Amino acid sequence: MTEETDDLRAARAMRRAMLGDAYVDRATSDPDPVAAEFQDYVTSMAWGVWTRGGALTTRDRSLLVMAMTAALGRMEEFRLHASSTAQTGVTDEELDELLFQIAAYCGVPAGISARREIQAMRADRAGG
């Protein structure tokens, strides 16, 4: 495990606030020291950028992450972030509009895949 710094603590807190304790606990439950170090690295890199300040809001960062994960075809990550929009301030209407941006700039297949993920996420949300 890496040394705990204020930046890492802030990144961990942001990750938990956005994705929830259950998800983070599952992701960090592997007792292997390399897995723990890797999780600290991922948290520091991916979530540290959310806590660094700057002109982007949490909502802005969320929209960007969803667009980038869709562009890369990382639909599991796209759905994870789409599922956390209640915490980021992204509305369902904005998520719907994002699909058009994804299709136009990342390609129709990426837009279709992202729409499927949003539909499945909303079905899960309505059912549970």
- 73 burial (CB, 10 Å; 0-12 / 13-18 / 19+) is middle
The predicted pLDDT at position 122 comes to 95
Q: Residue 112 is encoded by which pair of tokens?
A: 């279709």
The predicted pLDDT at position 106 comes to 96
The predicted pLDDT at position 128 comes to 66
| Angstrom distance (rounded) from CA 95 to CA 62 | 10
The predicted pLDDT at position 103 comes to 98
**Tens of pLDDT along the chain (128 residues)?**
557 899 999 999 999 999 999 999 999 999 999 999 999 999 999 999 999 999 999 999 999 999 999 999 999 999 999 999 999 999 999 999 999 999 999 999 999 999 999 999 999 999 96
